[in-house]
Amino acid sequence: MKDHDHVARLMAQMTLAEKIGQLNLMAAGEGLMTGARQPTSLAGRLDTGQVGAIFGTKSLATARAMQERALAGSRLRIPLFFAEDVIHGHRTVFPLNIGLACSWDMDLIAATSRFAAAEAAAEGLHQVYAPMVDISRDARWGRVAEGPGEEPLLAARIAAAAVRGFQGKDPAGKGRVAACLKHFVAYGAPESGRDYDNVSLAWEDLLATYLPPFSAGVEAGAASVMVAFNAVNKLPMHANGPLIEGWLRAGTGFDGLVVSDYTGVAELVAHGLGPAPVAVARAIHAGVDMDMVGEDYLRELPALAKSGVDAPDAGISLTGAQVTALVDRACRRVLDFKQRLGLLDDPFRGMAKTARPPARGRGRALARKAAASAAVLLKNDGVLPLAAETRVALIGPFAADRANMLGTWAVSGRAEDVTPLGEAVTALTGQVPAIAWGANIVDEDWLVQRLNVHGVTVRQDPRPEAEIMAEALATAGQAEVIIAAVGEAKEHAGESSSRLSPDLPAPQRRLIAALAATGKPLVVVLFAGRPLALGAVAEQADALLYAWHGGVAGPEGVADLLFGAANPSGRLAMALPAHPGEVPLSYAHEPTGRPFPGHFAKFRTGWLDMPDDAPRFPFGFGLSYGQVEYGMPQLSRPRALADRPVTLRINVTNSGPCEVVETVQLYASDPVARITRPGRWLIDFQQVTLPPGTSRELRFRVTSDQFSYPIAPSLEGAEWVRDPGLIQLHIGPNSRDTQMAELTWLS
């Protein structure tokens, strides 16, 4: 009640202009700009109380100086809050989110978020634009790099773990920050995989696949949400009241702050929703509380609050009094957010000049562990792990790379903090590998320019390819084992980095083919920001490690795996396509009336030009250096009433020589339903550590509510139903290689 009273007192004293000023979210003008529009002069806004929050400060001193200026310019001394993109770490950069998702380790994900929060808080930040929980099943979309992959249950658990890591029990606590779930919603399902494009999908898909991670994040206590750029079923999200004020607030009980994305309110005009005054009215009516960078709220709301808006062609009519009430609603939410952060009581909370970040060494150790946990071993024909004394040739454009290892959206990371793979191998083994460039990352000069948009990370060797290749082959000839370090540049993935063909670039494919032709054992390490179609590379390699962009200690984590200092435990959070044209792709695809029989057959679904033996790496797949055997699954009862949970038991045994971490995955199918359902979907998973020669019995609790699904002629008319009858449970090490048990719900 005391907090509510504080906000109420401020609201009673504020002028309309002061309230509108609180809705203005501006860029600090330091560092990376993500949009085409540069910020207006910040100083003038601060001096006149026209800023509610700032994002993008790069130091504690800067944040303190801006806070002091804002307090001096505010009649009621209302403080700012400070935010930043802390996507996969802050100064200590962890693996890309898609890589962290492949760990399936919620404690690890919470720990990386907790460390990132402590580093961010030490620089005066109060809010981070994370976690990014957009489901995506299209490898063309560059922002899969920032997300949790293709599976809603895994993504929901990641959302909750990250929120707990960032916020703890209180986002105002020491070393904590407010999480901001993004991007609400279905941003990861754009047409043709093109960033910012619109989304058309069944309401059932929205409710069952794309919204659950947001629901889990809200349930975990997320203090804020960011709205997505895209339209969903024809209505742009920055004007989507049914989803923001409807599903999010009324449906989940979310009572936090909703912020726009960069110039998202202004972009409603380009979406075709009306001129700026109409766009602003639609955004604030839909529930977008703060306007990021565009300043359209600041420009348009004073006149709207006086005269209202009547735009029948845009379907909106509001009186001035109604607009004023919407301004009050948004301002109250901003102030409530600041109160929750403790800023109304202490504007410099957490910003003491003596603030210290957590020990960098501790963060680096965590980053190294995370990098090893994120990497997925896809193939191993007895080559790995390597002995420390093995003579290694390290060949490829990422053998000595630093900057690309950080991955996209590492805004506070520094390339000089990265230990490149060659140096990491030397430090671990005491042996200096022979290194050769081998191939340029891409062939096209125009593409190099695009990849270097935020600084030079892609450098071309000007020599003819034949000369570069000859040097690589000569280097390989002196080694016992070849390690090829290939993949994508950091800006191959991320925002505005959609790819027509998500595969390994051509010069690197040619390099792999030439190295494979030597007949020497070939280990291929893929550094990438998205799932790539590997094609012949999967057959040419004797061992294949998908390392993603592993962050500040990524190469060290890879070295640990290659030489057995760590055992691979990663499992794919997103399937790798067998061919670039196969996307969108998901293990959870719905059956058709003419299902794929496992090989090409005329008049059955499938691809005419895809060979039957194309290598496939499904969702949940990953190998280790151990040998885990699964017993037969056993149900506590084969038939059960809907209110009676059933226990599925299974024994897993490590018959190998080393300790392993096994991720046991439980999927379900519903053979008969009212509508078409996914062929199978994930309902639970458990991670277990197995010392060599040991067995564990795992128990999974199966309940009838895991089989409910929506029938939704509209968003408002959605009904969640569950059918009695036969269901199938599939358990195993991935989504493909499973054993089945059948269960019948009696009612």
Helix axes 554-562, 360-374, angle to 10 degrees: 50
Distance separating alpha carbons of residues 335 and 121, to the nearest angstrom: 20
Distance separating alpha carbons of residues 96 and 100, to the nearest angstrom: 6
Grouping H, G, I as helix, E, B as strand and the rest as coil, residue 629 is strand
Nearest to 581 by CA among 491, 679, 494, 503: 503
What DSSP string runs through 601-616? -TTSSS-TTS-TT---
The beta-strand segments (E) located in 320-433 are 376-380, 392-395
Which ranges constitute the DSSP H helices of 94-174?
97-101, 106-121, 152-167
Q: Are the CB atoms for 640 and 690 separated by under 8 Å?
A: no
Phi, psi of 692 (to 5 degrees): -60, 135
Between strands 316-318 and 53-55, the pairing is: unpaired
Nearest to 668 by CA among 622, 632, 702: 702
What DSSP string runs through 467-527? HHHHHHHHHHHT-SEEEEEEE--GGGSSTT---SS-B--HHHHHHHHHHHTT-S-EEEEEE
Can you name the residues that pair with 524 across neighbouring β-strands? 484, 544
Cβ neighbour number for residue 337 with a 10 Å cutoff: 28
Distance separating alpha carbons of residues 377 and 396, to the nearest angstrom: 19
Query: Positive or negative CA dihedral for 674, 680, 681, 687?
Result: positive
Grouping H, G, I as helix, E, B as strand and the rest as coil, residue 214 is helix
Cβ neighbour number for residue 292 with a 10 Å cutoff: 27
CA dihedral of residues 573, 587, 378, 656 (deg, nearest 10): 90
The amino acid that residue 415 corresponds to is A
For residue 34, give both structure tokens: 């993500």
Which ranges constitute the DSSP H helices of 563-709?
none
Distance separating alpha carbons of residues 266 and 278, to the nearest angstrom: 10
Q: Are the CB atoms for 570 and 376 separated by under 8 Å?
A: yes
Q: Are the CB atoms for 279 and 239 separated by under 8 Å?
A: yes
Residues in the chain: 747
Instruction: Return the residue matching tokens 């993004």.
Output: 182
Distance separating alpha carbons of residues 261 and 31, to the nearest angstrom: 17
Q: Are the CB atoms for 228 and 237 separated by under 8 Å?
A: yes
The residues that are catalytic are 261
CB-based burial label for 518 (10 Å; 0-12, 13-18, 19+): middle
For 97, 217, 597, the CA distances from 165, given in Å and listed in that order, are 14, 12, 44
The amino acid that residue 92 corresponds to is T
Can you name the residues that pair with 394 across neighbouring β-strands? 435, 483
Nearest to 502 by CA among 121, 138, 195: 138
